[in-house]
C-alpha cells in the first residue's frame, strides 16, 4: 500500500506500518501508531476512533518524512520530541539519552528510601542528580518532593539546555550546574554537601558499543552511553569523589548495567561506611539499581 494513495487514517497507519516492517523496524505497528498520533496531534483513543476518517491531504508529505526518518533507524522519541517518564512528558532531543522505564524504578526507590530513612533530618533534603541528561530524574524528584532542594549536573551544555527547559515547563525547582560528575562540587570555595545523590551514568562497556541496537548506537549520544572498558569508569570516579565532599550523602543511588551491580556495590563499600546496601531489580529481573544507605 503506497502512502501517497491512502484514503483513510486507518489506511495511512497500515501503509506506514508495512513500510517500517519492510525496513526492519521492530514493533512497526506501534511505531506507526505513535508517529501518526504525533502527526495528527491526537491521543491514542481519538486516533483509534477516527481510523475511518479521511487522511488529510496536506499531511501526506509530512507523513512520508516521518516514516523515512523512522525507517532509517531514528528513535521515535527523537522524531516526536518527547518521552513520558513517571507520569510526565519530557522533551528529548539527540543531545540526551531517552529516559527508560527502568529508570522510573530508580526514582521510585529513591523517594521511598529517602522518606523512610532520611525524613527526620533537619531542614529540606538536598538532592543531586549527576549526569541529568533530559532532567528526568531531577525534575521528578523536585516535582514529587517540592520541599527538597534539587541540583542537577551534566557535562554537556546541550543536555543542560534540554533539562532546564523541561524543569521550566513542568514547574520544577531545580538548580543546574555544568561539570564532570562531582567535580563542580569539589572545587575550593564551591564545596557542596548533599543528603541524596542519584545518578544514571554511562555504563555500556566500550567494546559493546558496536553491538547495540541500531536506534541506540547510531542516534543516542555516546557521551551518555560509553562507560569505558568495563562500563564502570564513571562509578569508580564518583566513588573516589564521595570522600572529598564535605560530608557523605545519606543515600547514594546508581543505575547500573547488566552484571555490574555487585561491582558497583563494592565500590561504594570501599568508599564509606553504610548501614545497608540494597539492589533493585528491573522489569527483566536484573539487578539494575544499587542503593547505599547511611
Q: Which residues belong to the annotated binding site for substrate?
A: 200-203
Q: Which residues are annotated as a binding site for S-adenosyl-L-methionine?
A: 131-135, 154, 200
Strands 251-255 and 287-293: antiparallel
Angle in degrees, 0-180, between the axes of helices 28-40 and 9-22, rounded to the nearest 10? 140
Q: CA-based angle 190:194:200, to the nearest 5?
A: 100
Q: Which residues are annotated as a binding site?
A: 131-135, 154, 200-203
Locate 37 and state its grid cell. Answer: 498520533
Amino acid at each position: 500500500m503506497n502512502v501517497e494513495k491512502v484514503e483513510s487514517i486507518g489506511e495511512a497507519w497500515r501503509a506506514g506500518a508495512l513500510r517500517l516492517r519492510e525496513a526492519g523496524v521492530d514493533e512497526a505497528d506501534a511505531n506507526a501508531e505513535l508517529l501518526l498520533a504525533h502527526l495528527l496531534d491526537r491521543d491514542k483513543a481519538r486516533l483509534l476512533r477516527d481510523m475511518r476518517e479521511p487522511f488529510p491531504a496536506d499531511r501526506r508529505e509530512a507523513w512520508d518524512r516521518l516514516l523515512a526518518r523512522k525507517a532509517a533507524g531514528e528513535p521515535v522519541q527523537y522524531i516526536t520530541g518527547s518521552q513520558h517518564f513517571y507520569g510526565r512528558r519530557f522533551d528529548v532531543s539527540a543531545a540526551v539519552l531517552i529516559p527508560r522505564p527502568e529508570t522510573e524504578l530508580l526514582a521510585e526507590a529513591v523517594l521511598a528510601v529517602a522518606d523512610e530513612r532520611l525524613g527526620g533530618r533537619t531542614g529540606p533534603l538536598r538532592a543531586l542528580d549527576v549526569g541529568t541528561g533530559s532532567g528526568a530524574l531531577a525534575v521528578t524528584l523536585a516535582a514529587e518532593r517540592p520541599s527538597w532542594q534539587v541540583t542537577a549536573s551534566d557535562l554537556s551544555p546541550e543536555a543542560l539546555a534540554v533539562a532546564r527547559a523541561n524543569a521550566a515547563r513542568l514547574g520544577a525547582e531545580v538548580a543546574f550546574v555544568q561539570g564532570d560528575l562531582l567535580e563542580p562540587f569539589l572545587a575550593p570555595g564551591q564545596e557542596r554537601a548533599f543528603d541524596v545523590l542519584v545518578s544514571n551514568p554511562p555504563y555500556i562497556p566500550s567494546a559493546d558499543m558496536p553491538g547495540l541496537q541500531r536506534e541506540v548506537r547510531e542516534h543516542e549520544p555516546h557521551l551518555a552511553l560509553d562507560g569505558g572498558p568495563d562500563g564502570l569508569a564513571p562509578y569508580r570516579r564518583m566513588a573516589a569523589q564521595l570522600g572529598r565532599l564535605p560530608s557523605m550523602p545519606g543515600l547514594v543511588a546508581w543505575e547500573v548495567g547488566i552484571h555490574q551491580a555487585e561491582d558497583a556495590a563494592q565500590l561504594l563499600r570501599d568508599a564509606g561506611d553504610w548501614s545497608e546496601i540494597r539492589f533493585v531489580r528491573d522489569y527483566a529481573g536484573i539487578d539494575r539499581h544499587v542503593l547505599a544507605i547511611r
